[in-house]
Amino acid sequence: MIILGLNAYHGDSAAALIKDGKLIAAVEEERFRRIKHWSGMPTESIRWCLQDAGLKLSDVDHIAINRNPKVNNLRRAMYVLRKRPSLQLMLKRFSNIRRAASYEDQVSSAFPGDKLRAQVHHVEHHLAHLASSYLVSGFEEAVCLSVDGFGDFASSAWGLGKGSDIKIDGRVYFPHSLGVFYSVITQFIGYPYYGDEYKVMGLAPYGEPKYLKQMREIVKVQTDGSFKLNLDYFRHHNEDVHYTWDNCSPEVGTLYRKEPMEALFGPQREKGAELEQKHRDIARSAQAMYEEAFFAMLQSLHAKYQCSDLALSGGCAMNSVANGKVYLNSPFKRMYLPASAGDAGGAIGSAFVVAHQIDKSSKPFVMDHAYVGPQSADAEIKALLDSRTADIQAEGCTVCRFEDEGQLCQATATAITEGKVIGWFQGRMEWGPRALGNRSILGDPRRADMKDILNLKIKRRESFRPFAPSILREEVKEWFEQDDDVPFMMEVFQVREDKRPQIPATTHVDGSGRLQTVHQETNPRYHRLISEYKAITGVPIVLNTSFNENEPVVCKPQEALDCFLRTKMDVLVLNDWMVSRG
């Protein structure tokens, strides 16, 4: 049985392919289009998934889409009658609903001559989120929680997962949303682009929660653990806020009302204006408010279900700082966070919902790694390097191929200890937004200046944003104050105080690190590289950041080579090939 899962016309459009109950391929459309967070119909992702599996569109039995225009419509109608939002807003919402109902036509038109015979299933947005975590977690029973912006007229949903079923018991409906709250603060302090929320999270440790009282005027935590927004500060519910989701990087207009927001916080920061301490304090206060609401939900859900396992999803589950405090601030003992908690993950989630609806006896699939994307054969890389010989020589580079993996890892580890910046391109590309050791830029975590070196040579990003540590799984307890499995880099833990001086490049200003635990079983080459680095230095960690330069993470070897040549990266490792600057 072949099931194609889609996230379309949301940010981070994506496709995933399930064969006989197992995920065999998944990729975000941005990796092919080379436009961050690309939104639209993910035709290139569909095409790659089918090609990788040796299939045609006509071989697909079912298509699952993480949106259902038929759900919550009574709620929609009641809201329109009660609140009477602008006509333009209503027309735009109805247009989006109509488009969601015609996905099959759009898929068919992208594959002329290949008959679409699959049955199409529309899966509620938050059910797809919940499934993207719970149904691949390996848990037999878990509390399931999805928190994001909006999808199918809701911003949050929760329930209990048992066996292969998820029962949704509650939702927070439009217009209340923790995701919208966080986006509003992001916009207010001068970061207007879709997906900039992680900048607020990175900025927050540089501030103090001086504005928490004001934040509580905006977000009202309820006695049952849910929340409401004070809509006096927002525009999204009754005005025609600009949204663009068609075949582009998503664009979202101003979500807040300027006058009441400035009455609380003072003047908004314009994009590119000087970053003041006040803005750092606002960021810290927003993070504190999010955590207050988030942990109130978790406490309430644990009390309701009396289950110690948690499956977390939704765009807000990308808040790795809050995620890292779940065991400290709630009674949950185990947690599963998917590699892509946001909208892209709905491609996997919707597909597994359909898979379990069709065959409830199917064996559970556990997603313990994210390496399900495109890969490149040795012959392809050799042909690329041969064709670009002149460009490579013009940069004073040498090329060699290693026959022995141990020697390759040892040479790379040695280069890292010398302060060199490494482009590391290996095997199948990671699913999700994080570079997890197959499309990564690596550096020496011991060097206090490595962060500045990376920003000068390649990344050119805000100085307050941290770089992540990739650590051998077996060493986590020795280096961090919590011991948990974090294969998808979705949690921030405190580095042990005595270890912080040893890894300044990956220790944030508050003593934390957003770690990735590396397993020998799921990524043996990356594990071996870090082991070789440890053998030289005694440190079982390398600095890891995404292989890109203000673009989506590289997908193909030519993109990796182009990034290497146009930046000041020192070494590029393409599978078994090493390109080194002299």
Residue 558 is part of a domain; what is its CATH number? 3.90.870.20
* Mean local confidence (pLDDT), 152-166: 96
pLDDT the model gives residue 276: 97
Do 433 and 319 lie in one domain? The reply is: no
Report pLDDT for 96. Answer: 60
* Beta strands at 243-244 and 2-7: parallel, antiparallel or unpaired: unpaired
**In this structure, are 207 and 263 located in the same domain?**
yes
Q: Any residues with CB less than 8 A from the CB of 314 and at least 6 apart, and which?
A: 126, 129, 145, 146, 147, 148, 156, 179, 341, 342
Helix axes 258-265, 178-188, angle to 10 degrees: 70
Quick: pLDDT tens for 189-221: 999 999 999 999 999 999 999 999 999 999 999
**Does residue 122 lie within any of the structural domains?**
yes
Q: Indicate if the pLDDT at residue 95 is higher than 90.
A: no
* Residue 86 pLDDT grade (very low, low, confident, very high; cuts 50, 70, 90): low
Whether 536 is covered by a domain: the verdict is yes
- 302 and 354 belong to one structural domain: no
Tokens of 493: 């833990």
Q: Is residue 167 part of a domain?
A: no
In a shared domain, residues 183 and 127: no
Quick one: pLDDT at residue 103?
Answer: 77
Share of the chain above pLDDT 90, in %: 88
pLDDT in tens, 537-568: 999 999 999 999 989 999 999 999 999 999 99
Q: Residue 246 — very low, low, confident or very high, per pLDDT cuts 50/70/90?
A: confident
pLDDT at 90 over 90: no
Residue 468 lies in a domain: yes
Domain shared by 328 and 202, yes or no: yes
Reply yes or no on whether the pLDDT at 393 is more than 70: yes
Residues 292 and 431 in one domain: no
Question: pLDDT tens-digit profile of 133-150?
Answer: 999 999 999 999 999 999
Residues 315, 345 share a domain:
no
pTM over 0.75: yes
The verdict on residue 166 lying in a domain is: no
User: If 0-12 CB within 10 Å is exposed, 13-18 middle and 19+ buried, where does residue 14 land?
Assistant: buried
| Mean of pLDDT values over 425-439 | 98
Check whether residue 448 and residue 501 sit in a common domain. yes
* Residue 520: pLDDT over 60: yes
> For the residues 18-47, what does the mean pLDDT come to?
97
3-state secondary structure of 436: coil
Q: Give the per-residue pLDDT at 75.
A: 77
Is 101 found in the same domain as 214? no
Compute the mean pLDDT over every residue in the chain, rounded to the nearest whole number.
95
Confidence of residue 92 (pLDDT cuts 50, 70, 90): low
Give the CATH number for residue 205.
3.30.420.40
Top-ranked range on mean pLDDT: pick from 240-249, 456-465, 481-490: 481-490
Helix (H, G, I), strand (E, B) or coil at 328: helix
What is the per-residue pLDDT for 70?
A: 86
Q: Both 236 and 262 in a single domain?
A: yes
Q: Check whether 234 has a pLDDT greater than 70.
A: yes
Instruction: With respect to residue 20, please indicate whether it lies within any of the assigned structural domains.
Output: yes
Count CB-CB contacts under 10 A for residue 331: 15
Residue 507 lies in a domain: yes
332, 366, 390: which is the final residue of a domain? Answer: 332
Do 263 and 196 reside in the same domain of the chain? yes
Averaged pLDDT, 475-489? 97
| pLDDT at position 270 | 95
**Is the predicted pLDDT of residue 83 greater than 70, yes or no?**
no
Give the confidence band of 18 by pLDDT, cuts at 50, 70, 90.
very high
Domain region containing 287:
173-332
Give the β-pairing of 219-221 and 227-229: antiparallel
* Nearest-angstrom CA–CA distance, 324 and 505: 20
pLDDT digit string (tens) for 310-347?
Answer: 999 999 999 999 999 999 999 999 999 999 999 999 99
* Burial (0-12, 13-18, 19+ Cβ within 10 Å), 95: exposed
**415 and 479 assigned to the same domain:** yes
Q: Name the residue type at position 348.
A: I
Which pLDDT score is estimated for 333? 98
Residue 148 lies in a domain: no
Rounded-to-5 percentages of helix, strand, coil across the chain: 40, 20, 40
421-432 average pLDDT score:
98
Edge-to-edge order in the sheet of strand 165-173: 165-173, 154-162, 141-151, 309-313, 334-336
Specify the number of domains making up the chain.
3
Query: How confident is the model over 491-500, as a mean pLDDT?
Result: 98
